[in-house]
Amino acid sequence: MAGSVSPMQDPEEMPRDPLAFARQALQRLPAALRRRERCFAPCAEGLRSEAATGPPLVDFSSNDYLGLAQAAEGSHGPGAVAAGSGGAGASPLVTGLRPVHQQLRQSLCAWLGRERVFLFPSGFQANVSLLAAVADRRCLVVADRLCHHSLLLGVRSSGAALQRFAHNDLDDLERRLATAQRQHPERRLVVVSESLFSMEGTSPDVAGLSGLCGRFGALLVLDEAHALGVLGPLGRGLAWGLPHVHVVVGTFGKALGSGGAMVAVDDGVLGDYLLQFCGGYRYSTALAPALAAATLANLQRLPGLEPERQALLARSRQLRQRLVAMGYPRPPGHGPVVPVLVGDETLAMGLQQRLEDAGLLVAAIRPPTVPPGTARLRVVLRHGQPPQAMETLVQTLLAEQRR
């Protein structure tokens, strides 16, 4: 029979199974930690699952904090159409840079008070590309213990030594920087953190973080993906106006409601360096012009959304207070990401289903996205959620407590 092994063939000479690693990993993966894809169609009431026949679900999961992605799917107004609906066709250094990219970069520089902005097709690519460019084998990168996977992957691809400091613990960071400077005074130091951790809802003392980096001469990379548009003065992020924050990363697929990302710097030398040596920028097709136009349009809308931003932060405070009154630990932070710690992943999945039965889409976050034993519901408050939806959320959790 075709494909069968000859009886005379020595088993030791049989070819190895190249997919054995994948089969073994899947066999070891507990059912409660398995991921699955789900397709949702946006509608006026929320999101409708293509696999369900019930009413739409109120979205408490996506990162569209200000509701700017709620425009008709695939349409961002005449600016996007004028910019072209296709791709850029080439790297920004070949023919991919368009006038709309320049307009967006200038607007972002003015908004953030930065000297130069580089645009990327995704935040993940921006982080990997940036860290691979600014770190190398002669560097020590000291990163927050809970930094995003894309940041850590960028460090690994750079070949730099990596240390992880305790989450938002500036004392631990200071000890590590002092030790590194004492033991290897010639070694370059790079510090990596985020201004709003998307699974924790926490924020560091960014002023203290930048002060430490100034003291030790460390390059500070701050990922503001979840903060821009929501936190800081007029939504400009927590790095706004601070010295020694050398690089800010931001994404457009969250509060800015479109897609793509940016790397912003305030030093001409660093900007020139990234242009020459950031391979992920130089060798990748530029951000789609339509996405650049959509981001530009939404950025221009932000000043008029200050009441909505303040209302969102007020609702975030209110929900935290309600959860404490129910006996939950106070979810850390003060932004729109409100984690409800559950612990057990099976229990978290059960709560997710109960909330879905109540008409709410709330994601259960499990390891390895979060550390073992810290499974949680990631509640995301967004502008445009029905007024009664938060009460439904609280009452559903309360009913589960009484079971």
Closest CA to 190 of 205, 209, 169, 208: 209
- The b/e string for 98-131 (b: 16+ C-beta within 10 A; e otherwise) is bebbebbbeebbebbebebbbbbbbbbbbbbbbb
Token pair of 203 as six digits: 């924020």
Q: Which of 223, 224, 266, 345 is catalytic?
A: 223
Please pick, among 226, 244, 246, 383, the residue that the annotation labels catalytic: 226
45 assigned to active site: no
Q: Is 226 a catalytic residue?
A: yes
Q: Establish whether 76 is a catalytic residue.
A: no
User: Greatest CA span in the chain, whole angstroms?
Assistant: 79
Which of 129, 168, 195, 198 is an active site residue?
198
Give the torsion sign (CA, 298, 299, 300, 305): positive
Q: 59, 64, 194, 266: which is the annotated catalytic residue?
A: 194
Q: What is the dihedral of CA 11, 12, 13, 14, to 10 degrees?
A: 50
Give the pairing type, strands 139-144 and 188-194.
Answer: parallel
- Determine which one of 59, 61, 63, 258 is catalytic: 63
The amino acid occupying position 306 is: E
β-bridge mates for residue 380, sequence order: 337
Helix axes 306-325, 389-402, angle to 10 degrees: 10
**Which of the following is catalytic: 59, 76, 129, 148?**
148
Query: 113: phi > 0 → left, psi -120 to 50 → alpha, else beta; which?
Result: left
Answer whether 57's CB lies under 8 Å from 356's CB: yes
In terms of Cα–Cα distance, which of 70, 62, 71 is closest to 38? 62
Catalytic residue among 246, 254, 345, 383: 254
Nearby residues of 16 by Cβ (< 8 Å), 6 or more positions away: none
Active site residue 254: yes
Catalytic site includes residue 85: no
**Distance of alpha carbon 4 from alpha carbon 138, whole angstroms:** 52
Known catalytic residue at 148:
yes
Is residue 320 helix, strand or coil?
Answer: helix
Contact 376, 348 (CB under 8 A): yes
Question: Is residue 107 annotated as a catalytic residue, yes or no?
Answer: no
User: How far apart are alpha carbons 293 and 157 in whole angstroms?
Assistant: 32
Helix, coil or strand: residue 234 = helix
The single-letter DSSP state of residue 16 is P
**Catalytic annotation, residues:** 63, 148, 194, 198, 223, 226, 254
